[in-house]
Amino acid sequence: MNPASFPADPAGFPDVAASFVLAGPVGKLETATDVAEPACARRGVAVICHPLTSEGGSMHNKVVTMAERALRESGLDTVRFNFRGAGDSEGKFDKGRGEREDLAAVVAWVRRVRPDDALWLAGFSFGSGVSIAQAVPLRADALISIAPPAGRYGLDKIKPPTCPWLVVQGEADEIVEPQAVFDWIASLEHPPELVRMPDTSHFFHRRLMDLRGAIKHAVRDWLPPTRQA
């Protein structure tokens, strides 16, 4: 079933899968939301960031959609969006600077429509760099980083979060150097939980279901209360 289309900047969080545009710093941001099954719904929303726009990355990337599925199945409602210059989002790729502002704009909408919910941030590759950079400024309650781009986009200069934090890294990643990720994590005062996936490439070919399971297993103790509570 195709997601329902909603007006720009909907006043509330849609109660079915939906697509719409939000107002971003340089124009509209193409956005998609989905909701957890009522029986397992939690008081939280996860915002998920996609990989490098200049290399064709978008919110429809298969790693992003699998992470979204894992978090939704864990009980969180979800938000995916296209950074500036991706899909139907306006603006041009800004090497991570403007993309941080895009994420802040989406989070501002989430805070407005779900002020009492926990905010989780997640990202894949470039998107994980953006979400890590914004985890402290945006007061994230949890963070999931898949193949974070260690050594790039100023990641080593970012104040790391102290909230619950998961990093999933393939050991055969051909784009992000795995050892650079492991060394960077080891240097942090508050290192994240690390899941290393052997024989796994950057795009998790033939390992997407394993990624789903790793996320669901790691975050189960961090989940906010149920909506019925």
For 42-99, how does the pLDDT look when each residue is reduced to its tens digit (9 = 90+)? Answer: 999 999 999 999 999 999 999 999 999 999 999 999 999 999 999 999 999 999 999 9
At 4 the pLDDT is 81
Structural domain total, the chain: 1
| 64: containing domain | 4-219
Residue 229, in any domain of the structure: no
Residue 228, in any domain of the structure: no
At 1 the pLDDT is 40
Query: Residue 126 is part of a domain; what is its CATH number?
Result: 3.40.50.1820
Residue 175, in any domain of the structure: yes
For 127-138, how does the pLDDT look when each residue is reduced to its tens digit (9 = 90+)? Answer: 999 999 999 999
For 183-207, how does the pLDDT look when each residue is reduced to its tens digit (9 = 90+)? Answer: 999 999 999 999 999 999 999 999 9
**What are the structure tokens assigned to 17, written together?**
């899968």
For 6-16, how does the pLDDT look when each residue is reduced to its tens digit (9 = 90+)? Answer: 778 899 999 99
